[in-house]
């Protein structure tokens, strides 16, 4: 017995509702003879009469009633499936699984997820927060669409795509009653011997900080509280004399309320070492994996947020990128008159 098509089942339901071939054929957008042939083929496949026909009426049989009940269930499920496919295609439904580090989760993701939720409220977002090594394992297992992290220690390979998003400077913070809080400036060496709280940071990052801070007696950058939970680190810094390594973007409320103050370390203002605490953010995903429209949209929203708040990397022109060369500066017009250089007027950039 051949399996009936959805078209046949829909025509069966129309005839059961109308009890009239002409009206059922009109609803099905077919001719009356085409509808009659389709229902006859369905009865032949079932080996049973589904309708009793007479010159005056069309009556459904008990067997036909049972088949119609099943047909209605299948048609409803097919309609739901079609709707789900349309919603998935448009990004109005589906699931997105995102991994985040401590700072990336607080800086890049809140606004992006809020925007996605507003525009596509049916999308379900799962957030997994951890350090990048563990997030990499979860990504490789196919349980994440992408993740955000500091990318100083991460290199792209044949399976991994690393997309730089920009950077943010880090700073040292403490509570207002800390002995160092009243200093307008202090050298990095004066931080030696302090207890530090921080997220898990790259090894080379830690070594550079230790070299900058280390004193003659061997005291340097010693992290005594390490966690990917920035809120926990912040609360400990507010309640103790531990020095927090973080960034302004994740401490907006604490700085505005005066619960924490930033330490002005002289070396971090100098061009030679100003980028020492510069955190490089990136978005990572598996190469060759097709993402859902919802995941793609969230990635675009993260990029938009990165453009808004991060110091974004300069990108060469498209032609120069293809050739692997730096773009040349625009040529000066050949007819431009030569002028003697003058100092810029005050107030001009």
- pLDDT tens, 155-204? 878 889 999 999 888 899 999 999 999 888 899 889 988 999 998 887 77
- What are the pLDDT digits (tens) for 251-302? 999 999 999 999 999 888 776 666 777 888 999 999 988 888 888 889 999 9
Same domain assignment for residues 160 and 190: no
- What are the pLDDT digits (tens) for 27-46? 889 998 898 898 888 888 88
Give the DSSP H/E element, type plus range, for residue 86.
helix 62-90
Q: Tokens in use for 139?
A: 């990504």
CA distance linking residue 197 with residue 225, whole number of Å: 5
In sequence order, the 6+-apart residues with CB closer than 8 A to the CB of 183 are 190, 263, 264
- Decide if 326 is inside a domain: no
The pLDDT of residue 51 is: 87
- Decide if 184 is inside a domain: yes
* Higher pLDDT, residue 90 or 190: 190
Same domain assignment for residues 27 and 101: no
Same domain assignment for residues 174 and 271: yes
The pLDDT of residue 256 is: 96
Same domain assignment for residues 231 and 102: no
Same domain assignment for residues 181 and 270: yes
Question: Does the pLDDT value for residue 326 go beyond 80?
Answer: no
Same domain assignment for residues 110 and 143: yes
Same domain assignment for residues 186 and 248: yes
Residue after which a domain boundary falls, among 42, 64, 89: 89
Name the phi and psi angles at 245, rounded to 5. -100, 115
Same domain assignment for residues 178 and 227: yes
DSSP E strand boundaries for 170-299: 171-174, 195-198, 222-226, 243-246, 261-263, 278-286
The pLDDT of residue 91 is: 53
Same domain assignment for residues 257 and 117: no
- Decide if 193 is inside a domain: yes
> Using an 8 Å Cβ cutoff, are 179 and 243 in contact?
no
CATH of the domain at 124: 3.40.190.10
- Decide if 266 is inside a domain: yes
- Decide if 174 is inside a domain: yes
Same domain assignment for residues 174 and 274: yes
- Decide if 317 is inside a domain: no
The pLDDT of residue 290 is: 81
SS3 call for 26: helix
Same domain assignment for residues 142 and 223: no
Question: Does the pLDDT value for residue 245 go beyond 60?
Answer: yes
- Decide if 44 is inside a domain: yes
How sure is the predictor about 234, in pLDDT bands with cuts at 50, 70 and 90? very high
CATH of the domain at 53: 1.10.10.10
Number of domains in the chain: 3
CA distance linking residue 101 with residue 25, whole number of Å: 60
Helices assigned H by DSSP within 47-173:
62-90, 102-107, 109-119, 132-140
- What are the pLDDT digits (tens) for 53-82? 876 778 888 888 888 888 888 887 776 666
How sure is the predictor about 19, in pLDDT bands with cuts at 50, 70 and 90? confident
CA atoms within 13 A on the CB side of 279: 27
Residue after which a domain boundary falls, among 30, 58, 89: 89
0.75 exceeded by the pTM? no
Nearest partner of 310 among 196, 148, 174, 154, judged by Cα:
148
Same domain assignment for residues 222 and 296: no
- Decide if 152 is inside a domain: yes
Domain that holds residue 299: 94-167+280-309
The pLDDT of residue 325 is: 45
């Amino acid at each position: 017995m051949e399996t009936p098509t959805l078209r046949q089942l829909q025509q069966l339901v129309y005839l059961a509702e109308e009890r009239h071939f002409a009206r059922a054929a009109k609803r099905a957008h077919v001719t009356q003879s085409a509808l009659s042939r389709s229902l006859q083929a369905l009865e032949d496949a079932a080996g049973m009469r589904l309708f009793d026909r007479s010159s005056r009426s069309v009556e459904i049989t008990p067997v036909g009633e049972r088949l119609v009940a099943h047909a209605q269930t299948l048609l409803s499920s097919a309609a739901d499936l079609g709707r789900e496919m349309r919603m998935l295609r448009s990004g109005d439904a589906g699931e997105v699984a995102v991994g985040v580090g401590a700072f990336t989760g607080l800086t890049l993701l809140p606004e992006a997820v809020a925007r996605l939720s507003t525009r596509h409220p049916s999308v379900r977002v799962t957030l997994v927060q951890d350090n990048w090594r563990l997030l990499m394992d979860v990504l490789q297992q196919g349980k994440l669409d992408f993740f955000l992290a500091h990318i100083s220690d991460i290199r792209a390979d044949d399976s991994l795509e690393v997309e730089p998003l920009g950077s943010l400077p880090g700073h040292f913070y403490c509570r207002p009653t800390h002995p160092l809080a009243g200093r307008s400036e202090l050298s990095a060496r004066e931080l030696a011997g302090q207890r530090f709280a921080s997220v898990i940071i790259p090894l080379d990052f830690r070594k550079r900080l230790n070299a900058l801070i280390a004193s003659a007696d061997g005291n340097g950058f010693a992290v005594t509280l390490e966690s990917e939970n920035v809120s926990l680190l912040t609360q400990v810094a507010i309640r103790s004399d531990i020095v927090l390594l973080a960034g302004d973007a994740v401490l907006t409320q604490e700085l505005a309320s005066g619960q924490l103050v930033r330490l002005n370390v002289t070396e971090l203002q100098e061009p030679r070492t100003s980028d020492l605490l510069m955190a490089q953010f990136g978005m990572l995903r598996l190469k060759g994996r097709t993402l859902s429209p919802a995941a793609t949209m969230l990635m675009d929203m993260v990029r938009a947020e990165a453009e808004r708040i991060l110091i974004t990397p300069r990108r060469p022109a498209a032609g120069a990128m293809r050739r692997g060369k730096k773009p040349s500066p625009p040529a000066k017009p050949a007819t431009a008159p030569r002028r003697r250089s003058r100092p810029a007027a005050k107030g001009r950039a």
